Structure 1
Amino acid sequence: MKTLISKEAPYFKANAVLNGKDIVNDFTIQQYKGKKYVILFFYPKDFTFVCPTEIYAFQNILPSFEKRNTQIVAVSTDTEYSHWTWLQMPKKNGGIHGVTYPIVSDINKTISYNYGVLSGFWNCDCNNNSVKIEGKGELVAYRGLFLIDKKGIIRHILINDLPLGRNVKESIRMIDALQTFEKKGEVCPANWNIGEKTMKANHEGIIDYLSS
């Protein structure tokens, strides 16, 4: 499997719901290039159980992302109308009312496929000059997450299987690590958090711990 790390984030233009209510048909993350970092995360389905816990987890700490000049964008293979309906439902009824960041429709499965998070696969049966294409397994998105820098380059990837909810706060730590590296040219060791010591190689190739 080829990795997208250090490569330009695959382009897409798709239908999406903005601000929890506005449907648009030309949403693209390229609008943030040169301006903001992006956390692009995929989830399997609307109207499910684990997915709203993740969606609200991002919303609950949205100010922390905004403080770091980072835009949150969600994607699933549902339609924009499914997203919109779910966004109108109160949380107590299983909805995600109150979520304000963009939620993108990947109804054609192409975004999930290009980012390497589409579960299942297509099977092509070619026989007697005819072609039969069918899906094997459920063609929904795994719980993928991509940290994209202001140049549009993917710097961090996390992909969970469908039953495994992700740790949203880890996204904050990774943004802090990336921004610290960009600012100081110093790298961040295991379990590093903002304010802790960073690392830098000296002329002899020895790693020194520095005060952040």
Structure 2
Amino acid sequence: MKNLIGKKAPNFTASAVLNGKEIVQNFTLEQFKESKYVLLFFYPKDFTFVCPTEIYAFQERIKDFEKRNVQIIAVSTDTEQSHLAWLQIPKEKGGIIGVTYPIVSDINKTISYNYGVLSGDLIFCNNNNEEWVANGELIAYRGLFLIDKNSIIRHILINDFPLGRNVDEAVRMIDAIQYYEKSGEVCPANWKKGKKAIKANHSGIVDYFSS
């Protein structure tokens, strides 16, 4: 997997569902450059089990992200029609009705590949038929990327399929990024907004400051 930390986030143009009801064909990541931070998260499949718990968990905290000027974007390798159908089904029946942030279709697998979260492999079999075969499902792992307003990736988390993500940790990392940008002070282990941060002086000794 290529290392994307500190590098420009790969742009994409793809179909997406907006506000839980509208399909658009040319949704881009680049539209948020210089105006918003982006929390981009990948999930494996529509109509599954862990995925809706994560999708709703981000929706339930959407105001916390909005007040931090963060745009949430979800991506899976399902079609935009599949996303839209899932968005019409009530939560108690396994759906994700009520989710308002964009859900992108990566049907060509290129977004997942460019972000290093595509599972499985395509293998060329040099037999009589010279076939390409898939080794494992070509779907996205549970990747999460925090992207700053300059389109630089500042935080990456990638989980295996059975392991759901922690939304509180995503909020904490946004706070850490924004605090560092504002103050120049770095955030130690287990730092939370309102706790002490660190500033290195010219002697190389660190000083602790309360935020």
TM-score range for the pair, normalised by the shorter chain length: over 0.9
Distance in 1 of aligned mates of 2:166 and 2:72: 15
Asked if residue 86 in structure 1 is aligned to residue 86 in structure 2, the reply is yes
Shift of 1:127: 5.2
C-alpha deviations, 1:119-157, integer Å up to 9, x for none?
Answer: 1111012357x6421111011100000000000000000
Give 5+ residue unaligned stretches, structure 1.
Answer: none
Corresponding residue number in structure 1 for 2:71: 71
Counterpart Cα distance in 1 of 2:6 and 2:160: 23
Q: Which residue of the partner structure matches residue 16 of structure 2?
A: 16
CA distance, structure 2, for counterparts of residue 27 and residue 194 of structure 1: 33
Unaligned runs of at least 5 residues, structure 2: none
Counterpart CA distance in 2 for 1:185 and 1:143 is 31
**1:7 alignment partner, SS class:** coil
Deviations 1:48-70, CA, capped at 9 Å, x for gaps = 00000000000001000000000
Tell me the distance in 2 between the aligned counterparts of 1:175 and 1:203: 28
> Tell me, what secondary structure is at the counterpart of 1:88?
coil
Q: Which residue of 2 aligns with 1:166?
A: 165
Determine whether 1:188 maps to 2:174.
no
RMSD of aligned Cα (Å): 1.0
After superposition, residues 39-188 of structure 1 pair within 5 angstroms as 39-126=39-126, 131-188=130-187
* Distance in 2 (alpha carbons) for counterparts of 1:190 and 1:119: 31
- Spell out the pairing of 1:190-209 with structure 2 (5 A cutoff): 190-209=189-208
How far the C-alpha of 1:207 sits from its partner, in A, is 1.2
Tell me the CA shift for residue 211 of structure 1.
1.4
1:166-198 CA deviation, whole Å, 9 max, x = no partner?
A: 101111000000000000000000000000011
**Identity score, percent:** 71
Please give the alpha-carbon distance, in whole angstroms, between the structure 1 residues aligned to 2:122 and 2:207. 50
- Report the TM-score, using the length of structure 2 for normalisation: 0.98
Q: Distance in 2 between matches of 1:62 and 1:144?
A: 19
SS at match of 1:178: helix
> How many residues in Structure 1 have an aligned counterpart in Structure 2?
211
1:2, CA displacement in angstroms? Answer: 2.3
Instruction: Output the amino acid matched with 1:41.
Output: F
Distance 1:39 1:103 in 2: 12
Following superposition, the deviation at residue 29 of structure 1 comes to 1.0
Runs of 4+ in 1 over 2 A off after TM superposition: 125-128
The normalised TM-score by structure 1 is 0.97
